[in-house]
Amino acid sequence: MKGVSFYEVFSLFLCYVTKTSAITRITLNFFVPLRPFMRRLMLFIAMLLTALPHVRCEDCGATCAAAGVDSTLRISLLTCTPGPATYELYGHTAIRVYSAAQGIDNVYNYGAFNFDQPHFTWHFVLGQTDYMVLPCGMSFFMQSYVERGSAVYEQELNLTPAEAQRLADTLQWNVQLKNRIYRYNIFRRNCTTMSRDIIEACVDGHVDYPPASSGNTFRTILHQYADGREWSGTGNDLLLGSNVDTLLSTRDEQFAPLYMMRYMDSATVVTPSGEAHPLVRCRRTLLEEDAVIQAAAAATIPSFPVGPRPLFYAFLVLCLALCLWEWHSGRLMWGFDALLLLLQGLAGVLLTFMALCSEHPGVTSNWQIVVFNPLALLGLPFAIHAARRCETSIYYPCAAVVLAMFIVTMHWLPQVFSVATLPLALALLSRAISNIAVPHKYHYNR
């Protein structure tokens, strides 16, 4: 049996310890019979080769150790369906970062805010609410949605190892104390759009989405999410103006989590070389929606027993009944009108303040300010003084003309109005007409 030299044994040992490729082993064995100097030189070169990071293919993807990239890193977009609470009505979006090699499974949540920050309520009214991105464990994140009965969907992104690492590094930079806070905007900068933007910024190329759905506006999408929550929808419609009634582009629709999920399913990444591939590798359901839990949670939330539509039309009937009584009795219910003008004026002050001072999107250009008019506060003392003497204040003829014009033309105005707007406009018009007609009849009969 042929003897084995020290160099052969040592080379085989190096190949085993460092998992050197077969090519390196062949190189070592080929040069072993050479002269001692050459053997030492080639052994030194072989050792250098074995010290270099190796690159091999595994599980249909590169290990990428040479580039310092974690091949087990997976990035996913998480989409959560709405819950019963008002702040849960629109669902949620977050980003999951998973790595088997590093033993991490974290979720980056761009929907966090601090109720305890100074003057939170005032800043919220002004549209100056600061949100932040915070990380948490995947198990903790999932448990919160188990408890509220919402579904959770995961879309694993089809990223290269380098893109995934870049996205993970960017998220880690983003959660640092000095970088985590951003100014919230429900339509432009929320948990969904922030997640979308950071994903787009970390891919090599640009992301193409399918065309927008036909006929959607911000208001129609809000209505879809508030379906069954009439008072929430009515509140939105009273505060939001005509600029939420314009048709949306693909990017505009992506403010809503479930819309973003559907767009991501069909999105493609176009690389600088012109090649295209799907942005999402696969989609899976991590948690099914639990209707029983949601119904139980909804039952604990206080709700008004009557919907807005029947309530406001009942108020219109009450105002018409008062008008008939005043006509027959010749007396004006000036106390009722004073309270009505006060509430009308305060509502108008709120709409005016939101339009002029708030940074909230969609609250400008609100035609409902014609109905909820702050000028009612100026007419209040004159209306009370005139009504107590059974006379007509100058305020009521002006208000009647403005309200009548609004009611006639509201169908053609570029805004979708709340279910409360028409019955309240008719109620206010009836009170104005009564305050004109009853004094006229009283003085005519005298």
pLDDT attached to residue 441: 67
Mean pLDDT value of segment 182-203: 95
User: Is the predicted pLDDT of residue 37 greater than 70, yes or no?
Assistant: no
User: Is the predicted pLDDT of residue 442 greater than 80, yes or no?
Assistant: no
At residue 3, the 3 state secondary structure works out as: coil
Distance, in Å, from the CA atom of 50 to the CA atom of 45, rounded to the nearest integer, reads 9
- The two three-digit tokens of residue 308, written as one number: 């807005």
Distance, in Å, from the CA atom of 375 to the CA atom of 414, rounded to the nearest integer, reads 23
- The two three-digit tokens of residue 137, written as one number: 């464990």
- The two three-digit tokens of residue 380, written as one number: 């209040």
Q: Which of 23-27, 40-44, 267-271, 409-413 has the lowest mean pLDDT?
A: 23-27
* Full DSSP string of 257-320: HHHHHHHHHH-EEE-TTS-EEESEEEEEEEE---HHHHHHHHHTS---SS-HHHHHHHHHHHHH
pLDDT attached to residue 193: 97
Distance, in Å, from the CA atom of 30 to the CA atom of 25, rounded to the nearest integer, reads 9
Average pLDDT of every residue of the chain: 84
Reported residue count of the chain is: 446
At residue 36, the 3 state secondary structure works out as: helix
277: pLDDT confidence band, cut at 50, 70 and 90? very high
Q: How far separated are the first and last CA of the chain, in Å rounded?
A: 140
pLDDT attached to residue 226: 87
Domain boundaries in the chain? 6-52, 65-212+249-298, 308-445
Give the pairing type, strands 152-157 and 130-137: unpaired
Contact 49, 24 (CB under 8 A): yes
Closest among 87, 83, 67 to 163, alpha carbons compared: 67
Identify the helix (H) or strand (E) that includes residue 382. helix 376-388
CATH class of 65-212+249-298: alpha beta
pLDDT attached to residue 175: 95
pLDDT attached to residue 29: 40
Distance, in Å, from the CA atom of 71 to the CA atom of 59, rounded to the nearest integer, reads 10
Count CB-CB contacts under 10 A for residue 337.
Answer: 23
- The two three-digit tokens of residue 171, written as one number: 């998220």
Identify the helix (H) or strand (E) that includes residue 134. strand 130-137
Contact 70, 99 (CB under 8 A): yes
Contact 287, 151 (CB under 8 A): yes
Closest among 430, 408, 410, 435 to 421, alpha carbons compared: 410
444: pLDDT confidence band, cut at 50, 70 and 90? low
446: pLDDT confidence band, cut at 50, 70 and 90? low
User: Is the predicted pLDDT of residue 98 greater than 70, yes or no?
Assistant: yes
Closest among 4, 11, 98 to 46, alpha carbons compared: 11
Q: What letter does residue 349 receive in the DSSP assignment? A: H
pLDDT attached to residue 4: 42
At residue 392, the 3 state secondary structure works out as: coil
Burial of 437 (0-12, 13-18, 19+ CB in 10 A): middle
- The two three-digit tokens of residue 75, written as one number: 């990035």
* Full DSSP string of 188-232: TBSHHHHHHHHHHHHSSSEEE-PPPPTT--HHHHHHHHTTT-HHH
pLDDT attached to residue 18: 40
Alpha-carbon separation of residue 43 from 40, 53, 399 (angstroms): 5, 18, 100
Distance, in Å, from the CA atom of 18 to the CA atom of 150, rounded to the nearest integer, reads 49
User: Is the predicted pLDDT of residue 386 greater than 50, yes or no?
Assistant: yes
How many percent of the chain have pLDDT more than 70?
A: 83
Distance, in Å, from the CA atom of 64 to the CA atom of 396, rounded to the nearest integer, reads 79
42: pLDDT confidence band, cut at 50, 70 and 90? very low
Q: Which of 40-54, 121-135, 190-204, 398-412 has the lowest mean pLDDT?
A: 40-54
Contact 376, 389 (CB under 8 A): no
pLDDT attached to residue 20: 39
pLDDT attached to residue 183: 92
pLDDT attached to residue 125: 80
How many Cα atoms are found within 13 Å in the side-chain-facing hemisphere of 317?
Answer: 6
Alpha-carbon separation of residue 141 from 90, 91, 152, 156 (angstroms): 17, 14, 10, 17
Q: Which of 1-5, 233-237, 421-425, 436-440 has the lowest mean pLDDT?
A: 1-5
Identify the helix (H) or strand (E) that includes residue 106. strand 104-112
Give 347-381 pLDDT, tens digit per residue: 999 999 999 998 888 898 999 999 999 999 999 99
Give 79-93 pLDDT, tens digit per residue: 999 988 877 889 999
- Compute φ and ψ for 371, nearest 5 degrees: -80, -50
Give 408-417 pLDDT, tens digit per residue: 999 999 999 9
User: Is the predicted pLDDT of residue 8 greater than 50, yes or no?
Assistant: no
Closest among 180, 193, 36, 15 to 113, alpha carbons compared: 180
pLDDT attached to residue 60: 37
Mean pLDDT value of segment 137-166: 95
User: Which of 9-18, 23-32, 188-197, 296-305 has the highest average model confidence (pLDDT)?
Assistant: 188-197
Give 104-142 pLDDT, tens digit per residue: 999 999 998 887 778 777 887 888 889 999 999 999 999
